[in-house]
Structures are given as C-alpha cells and as structure tokens.
Amino acid sequence: MQTSTATTDLVSRLRSTIDGAVITPDDSGYNDIRTVVMGNFDGRPAAVARPADDADVARIISLAADSGVPLAVRNGGHSGAGHSTNDGGLVLDVRDLDEVRVDPDSRTAWAQSGVTAGAYLATAGEHGLATGFGDAATVGLGGITLAGGVGYLSRKYGMTIDELLAAEIVTADGQRLRVDEDNNPDLFWAIRGGGGNFGVATRFKYRLRDVSQFTGGILVLPGTPETITRFVAEADAAPDELSTIMMAMVAPPMPFLPQEVHGQLVVLAFMAYVGPADEAERALAPFRAIATPLADMVAPKSYLEMFPPEAEGYHPIAASRVFFADTIDQSVGEAVIESLQASTAMMSAVQFRVLGGAIARVPSDATAFAHRNRKLMINVAAMTQDVAGLAEQEAWVTKLAERLQQGPGAYTGFLGVDGAERIGEAYPPSTYERLVAVKRQYDPRNLFRSNHNVVP
C-alpha cells in the first residue's frame, strides 16, 4: 500500500496528540482491528485511531479534517456498505468508548457510543430493563442508533431512535455538542435516522423498559407459500407486545432441527413478547396453529437470552437488498419459495419484519426515518463462498427484490453497496432537503462522507 506524505504526517500527529491508540499496518493486532464484520470488505486503512475519550475524538476529527485523508467512522463494524473501513485512509474506531451507566430509578441509561448492543443489554438486564436495538448482540450502538434500529421491542416501544433521549456529538469543526429536544433540536432530528453524516456520536441517553416478563425464542414452520403469507398476516394482527423477525430459507443443519428437515425450506422466526407469560401464550397460539412446528423453542426467558453469543471470526460474504411492502398475498409467498428453490447461493433467505405498532405512531417527519407507515420491511440476502461469487448473487437478489418491492423505500441500516443509488429511497424529498440543510450547517465540507451520504 502506498502511503502519502499527508498520511505519514497525520499518523505522526495523531501519535503525538491523542491519548488513545493509533494502529498502523506495522503494529501487531492491525489485522484484527482493521477487520469488519462483512467479508465483502477487506479495507486496509493507513491507520486506525481509537480515541480514549471525547477530547480525543475532537482531536482526531480536527487532524483528519486538516490532512484531507479520507475518514471512516467505525463502531461495531456491521456496515453492509463497507462504510466503516477504507483503503489507505484513517478509521476513527470508537470501540474503547465502552462505558454504560444505568439509572434504574429514572429508567434511563447513558452509554458511550463504542458499546455493543449485547454489552448494553447485559448491564441493563441486571435490573430487568432493556432498550430495543436489533437482533444481533455485536452490532454497535453508534451504527444502529444513528440508522434507526428495528428489533424485538419495536412494535411495543418503537425504534431505537424513538427511545433516544439525548446524544453527545463531536462535529466536523471539533465542537462537542449536546443534542436533544431543547439543545440543537435540528441536529437531534437529523441523527435519528440520518446516520453518521453529522459528526461522531460519543454518548447516547436512552429510555429503558421493563422486560422482566418476557417470552421469546425460535419457532420453525414448514416453508410454503401459505406459511409465509399466514405468518405475516398473524404478525400484523398480533398485539404490539409481540415483535417478530421471520426468515424464509433453506434450513441449515441446526442442532435443534430434526435431521430430515436440514436442507428443506422452512419459515424460521424469532418471536419476542414483552409481558406476562399467559398473555404471550395467547398471542403465540395463532402462529403455532399455522402448521405443526418443526421446532418450537419459544418460552419465558430473560430478554438477554434472545442474543446468544455469536461465532467469532464469522465474516459472511453476502449480496442483499432491503425494501418495504404493505400487503403480501399467495403470489408473493410463491415467488419467495420458487426463488429460494432456484437459488445457487451457499445460503439464501428472505427476511420479513412486520412493522406497525409504536413505530407507526410516530409522525413521519418527527425523525429522519420517514417510513413510519410501511407495514413490512423485507430483506433479501444471498451468501457466497467468496467475493467472486457476488455478482451472480446480486443478480438473484435484485430480481427477487424487484418482484417483491412495493413502492420506493429503504432502511439505511440494511442498505448495502446499492445505497449510493438508493439514497432517494431511504430519504423522501422533504426529509432529504431537511437533512441537507442540517448537513450544510454542521459538515459543509462533507468530512463525514463514508456513510449513506447526504451531500451538502
């Protein structure tokens, strides 16, 4: 890798200025630290700077802005667009900002932005409390909160951004700002869905919810057009206490599935009910009646148990496409099943998240996530052994997505490399115009552009 004078100079200035670590290709640990979750991306930054505190974040931002060296911001490393790494640039990696402070009395928590969802939930869980993030423990609070956050508590309590009470942001000019409804409200609006466009978040304050009574787990049904459509209809009709994430897929050889089911089409759903166990049973009964379950592990448990440890060193290479729909009928179920049967991928899946509930009770213009009235978020994904196989899977994913997508719309949390051309789908015109105005105020030179970019 070619290192420019600007980069060499930046590295030496970072080393002499910040309290945190600066890791370059010559340092041990560089490979681990530079690696991001999705195996699609193999960026080799010239340096990874890991701030020790907010003051370090401001110093790194100022030095990066002066140097002109491309900057990426990284937390949990899950970006499906490769935004949290680069080749030859600087990565500002917030993972050492990892403190969580729970206040059970006020049912709020302050967390530094480098914390993962799993670490936050483990701390909050000691008090029987939680904030809703997504379905993965290793996702970083920084990335998921700024994108929006759809998960197991969304129908009951809304998206992560609906539980966000305040944040602290370091902007492109190195200012450290408190943002909430009263302080910099325009910026508070923009960061709730507008991603990393406006600065580096160092802290978030969230509302906490009582999850001491919780029922959840995996339910597996046979994969047919009918089970898909009925599942979606039941999830839509279910009380808000129940959120579901369902995947139509070919069953992998999971130990909890009978051997004869391996390789068969299934509907594999994560069920999450917040509230008393008897109410949960009533809400779950219609799903269990769709077909005889192939596996049913839905039971009272702690909320944290929805997030089992993830395999270390797992870096899937996948093509994916996210979009919205509002109604699905038998023909949709048939298209999904036919496409999955024809898939040449190592593994392919169509994921359905029924929205509604508290998500839809927030006005569309209250945050930068505007798709409040959409019923269903769908994610089509296909994994390959190596990046050479991506083009074939991109074609499969795109074809099925075009068949299933109803109207424009995208969620930036799941946007991949198609994000650049679909930014207008993620942000409808009135949202985008407002985001541009905020961007012009806080980052007119577009220092923060390794993201689903709002161009000033």
Nearer to ligand FAD by C-beta: 160 or 229? 160
Could you tell me which stretch among 6-14, 21-29, 129-137, 272-280 binds ligand FAD (CB under 6 A)? 129-137
Could you tell me which stretch among 20-28, 120-128, 193-201, 395-403 binds ligand FAD (CB under 6 A)? 193-201
Kindly state the number of chain residues that form the binding site for ligand FAD, as judged by CB under 6 A.
36
Q: Does 136 bind ligand FAD (CB under 6 A)?
A: yes
- Strand-strand pairing, 90-93 and 47-50: parallel
- For the record, the structure tokens of 169 come out as 């942001």
Least distance (Å) from ligand FAD to the CB of residue 44? 16
Instruction: Compose the 197-236 pattern: x for residues touching ligand FAD by CB under 6 A, - for all others.
Output: ---xx-----------------------------------
Could you tell me which stretch among 48-56, 192-200, 215-223, 360-368 binds ligand FAD (CB under 6 A)? 192-200
Nearer to ligand FAD by C-beta: 134 or 225? 134
Q: Does 150 bind ligand FAD (CB under 6 A)?
A: yes
Transcribe 150-212 into DSSP letters. Answer: --TTHHHH--GGGSEEEEEEE-TTS-EEEESSSSSHHHHHHHTTSGGGG-EEEEEEEE-EE-S
CA atoms within 13 A on the CB side of 51: 28
81 to 144, 279, 414, 439: CA distances (angstroms):
14, 40, 9, 21
Least distance (Å) from ligand FAD to the CB of residue 314? 9
For residue 309, what are the contacts with CB-CB under 8 A and spacing of at least 6?
A: 137
| Residue from 43, 70, 118, 196 in contact with ligand FAD (CB under 6 A) | 196
Contact, 431 vs 452, CB < 8 A? no
Cα distance between residue 165 and residue 124, in whole Å: 16
Q: Does 147 bind ligand FAD (CB under 6 A)?
A: yes
- For the record, the structure tokens of 69 come out as 């060296």
Show contacts with ligand FAD in window 168-187 (CB under 6 A): none
Least distance (Å) from ligand FAD to the CB of residue 282? 26
Least distance (Å) from ligand FAD to the CB of residue 285? 25
Nearer to ligand FAD by C-beta: 291 or 362? 362
Instruction: Compose the 17-46 pattern: x for residues touching ligand FAD by CB under 6 A, - for all others.
Output: --------------------x---------
Could you tell me which stretch among 5-13, 194-202, 255-263, 340-348 binds ligand FAD (CB under 6 A)? 194-202
Contact, 153 vs 272, CB < 8 A? yes
| Residue from 11, 22, 94, 380 in contact with ligand FAD (CB under 6 A) | 94
- For the record, the structure tokens of 94 come out as 């917030």
Q: 3-state DSSP call for residue 13?
A: helix
Cα distance between residue 349 and residue 352, in whole Å: 10
Cα distance between residue 145 and residue 113, in whole Å: 9
Q: Does 413 bind ligand FAD (CB under 6 A)?
A: yes
Q: Does 139 bind ligand FAD (CB under 6 A)?
A: yes
Q: Does 61 bind ligand FAD (CB under 6 A)?
A: no
Cα distance between residue 65 and residue 455, in whole Å: 17
Nearer to ligand FAD by C-beta: 37 or 124? 37
Cα distance between residue 96 and residue 116, in whole Å: 11
Q: 3-state DSSP call for residue 248?
A: strand
Interface with ligand FAD (CB under 6 A) = 37, 72-80, 83-84, 94, 113, 134-136, 139-140, 142-144, 146-151, 195-196, 200-201, 413-414, 450-451
